[in-house]
A and B are shown apart, each in its own frame.
Chain A
Amino acid sequence: MNIDSIQNGVVIDHIKSGKSMDIYRYLHLDELDCQVAIIKNARSEHMGRKDIIKIDTPMEVDLDVLGYIDPDITVNIIQDGKLVEKKHLALPEKLVNVIHCKNPRCITVAEPQLDAIFLLNDPEKHTYRCAYCDTEKKRSI
Chain B
Amino acid sequence: MRNLIDVTDLTKEEINALIATAEDMIAHPADYQEVCRHKQLATLFFEPSTRTRLSFESAMLALGGSVLGFSAAGSSSTAKGETVVDTVHTVSCYADIIAMRHPKEGAPFAAAQRSEVPIINAGDGGHNHPTQTLTDLLTIHREKGRLDDFTIGYCGDLKFGRTVHSLVNALARETGIRFVFISPEELKLPDYLKQNVLDKNHLNYEETTSLEEAIPDLDILYMTRVQKERFFNEADYIRLKDTYVLDPEKLVPAKKDLCILHPLPRVNEISVAVDDDPRACYFRQVKNGKFIRMALIQQLLAWNA
Contacts and interface: CB of A to CB of B under 8 A. Distances in A.
Interface string A85-126: 000000000000000000101111111011000000110000
B104 interface: yes
In which size bucket is the chain B interface?
10 to 19
Nearest to B160: A105
Given A110-B104, A114-B85, A133 B127 contact: yes
Contacts, number: 54
Given A110-B104, A114-B85, A134-B127, A129 B109 contact: no
Interface string B137-150: 00000000000000
A105 B104 contact: yes
Contact of A111 (B83, B109, B125, B191): B83
A105 B159 CA distance: 13
B107 interface: yes
In which size bucket is the chain A interface?
20 to 34
B196 A107 contact: no
B196 A132 contact: no
Contact of A106 (B83, B85, B104, B192): B104
Contacts of A110: 104
Interface of A: 103, 105-111, 113-114, 121-122, 129-136
Interface of B: 83-85, 102-107, 109-110, 124-127, 191-192, 195-196
8 contacts: A106-B106, A107-B104, A113-B83, A129-B192, A131-B106, A132-B107, A133-B105, A133-B106
